[in-house]
C-alpha cells in the first residue's frame, strides 16, 4: 500500500462515524447512533417522577414561569428563543461558538458534527417512552394560547414531558464542556438558555426542561460506557486543538 493510501485508511479508521451505526426513518433523529444491537439508554419513564398535576404547587410554579416567559416574547430574548427552536447541528455549532471562543461549523468540525449527531440521537431516544406515556399537554395546549412559532404547533402533540429540545441542548453542552473545559461555564450557560427558550415560547413547562437536563446527564453517562463514544470524544479533542 502506498504511503498516502495508508494515511487515508488510518484517518478513516479514527473517524467517529466508523464506530457509529446508521439509523433511518427517525423523524426527530440525526441518522447515527453509538449504541450496538442489544444496547439501550436509561429509560426516563422508569426513573423520572410523573409531571406535576394541575392544581399542585409544582404546577402553579410551572404556570408562573410560563407567564414570565410570555412577557419576554417581545424582547431580544424572545427573538433568540424562537431561533432556538432550531435543533440542526449547524445551528447548535453556531449557537455555542461564542461560548467556545471559536467558529464551529460542520465544515471545520466534521468529527464534532458526527459525534453530536450520535449523541443527540441517543439521548433523545432515551426519553421517547416517557414522552409518549406521560402524554403531558404542552403549555400552549393547556392554556389554549398562541405561540410565536405557529408552524411548530400541533393540536394533539401531547409530548411535553420531558423536553426533547432541552435534552439535546444539555447533552451537547456536556460534550462541548468535555472538549473545551476551560470554557465550561460559558458553554453550560448556553446549554441552559436553549432549554429556557422552550418555556419562553410556550412549548414546555419549567418542570419539562428540568427533567430533560437530568435525562441528558443520564444519557451522557450511559454513552461514557461505550468505547466508541469515548474514542469519538478523544478525536473531537484532537480536532479542537487544530482549530
CA 149 from chain centre, in angstroms, equals 19
165 is catalytic: yes
As a whole number of angstroms, the longest Cα–Cα distance in the chain is 72
Distance CA 158, CA 160 (A): 6
List the alpha helices (DSSP H) in 84-205.
Answer: 89-100, 110-125, 128-134, 139-142, 164-179, 184-200
Question: Which residues lie below 8 Å from residue 55, measured CB to CB, with a gap of 6+?
Answer: none
Q: By the 8 A CB rule, do 195 and 214 touch? A: no
Say how many C-beta atoms besides its own lie within 10 A of residue 18's C-beta: 12
Catalytic site residue from 142, 204, 213, 222: 204
Distance CA 25, CA 31 (A): 8
Identify the bridge partners of residue 22 per DSSP, sorted by sequence position.
Answer: 32
Torsion of CA 23, 24, 27, 33, to 10 degrees: 10
Catalytic site residue from 168, 183, 198, 213: 198
Question: Which residues lie below 8 Å from residue 39, measured CB to CB, with a gap of 6+?
Answer: 226
Catalytic site residue from 124, 136, 142, 165: 165
Task: Look up residue 47 and give its DSSP letter.
Answer: T
84 is catalytic: no
Catalytic site residue from 62, 84, 122, 208: 208
Q: By the 8 A CB rule, do 172 and 115 touch? A: no
124 is catalytic: no
183 is catalytic: no
Active site residues: 165, 198, 204, 208
Amino acid at each position: 500500500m502506498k504511503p498516502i493510501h495508508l494515511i487515508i485508511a488510518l484517518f478513516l479508521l479514527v473517524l467517529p462515524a466508523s464506530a457509529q451505526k446508521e439509523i433511518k426513518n427517525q423523524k426527530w433523529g440525526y441518522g447515527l447512533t453509538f449504541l450496538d444491537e442489544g444496547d439501550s439508554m436509561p429509560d426516563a419513564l422508569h426513573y423520572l417522577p410523573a409531571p406535576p398535576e394541575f392544581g399542585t404547587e409544582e404546577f402553579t410554579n410551572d404556570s408562573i414561569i410560563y407567564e414570565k416567559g410570555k412577557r419576554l416574547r417581545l424582547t431580544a430574548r424572545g427573538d433568540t428563543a424562537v431561533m432556538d427552536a432550531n435543533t440542526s447541528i449547524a445551528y447548535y455549532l453556531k449557537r455555542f461558538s461564542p461560548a467556545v471562543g471559536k467558529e464551529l461549523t460542520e465544515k471545520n468540525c466534521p468529527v464534532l458534527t458526527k459525534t453530536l449527531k450520535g449523541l443527540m440521537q441517543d439521548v433523545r431516544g432515551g426519553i421517547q417512552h416517557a414522552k409518549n406515556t406521560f402524554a403531558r399537554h404542552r403549555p400552549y395546549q393547556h392554556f389554549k394560547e398562541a405561540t410565536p412559532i405557529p408552524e411548530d404547533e400541533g393540536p394533539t402533540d401531547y409530548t411535553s414531558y420531558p423536553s426533547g429540545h432541552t435534552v439535546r441542548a444539555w447533552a451537547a453542552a456536556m460534550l462541548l464542556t468535555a472538549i473545551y473545559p476551560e470554557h465550561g461555564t460559558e458553554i453550560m450557560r448556553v446549554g441552559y438558555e436553549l432549554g429556557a427558550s422552550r418555556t419562553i415560547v410556550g412549548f414546555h413547562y419549567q418542570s419539562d426542561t428540568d427533567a430533560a437536563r437530568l435525562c441528558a446527564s443520564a444519557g451522557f453517562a450511559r454513552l461514557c460506557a461505550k468505547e466508541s463514544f469515548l474514542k469519538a470524544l478523544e478525536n473531537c479533542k484532537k480536532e479542537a486543538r487544530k482549530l
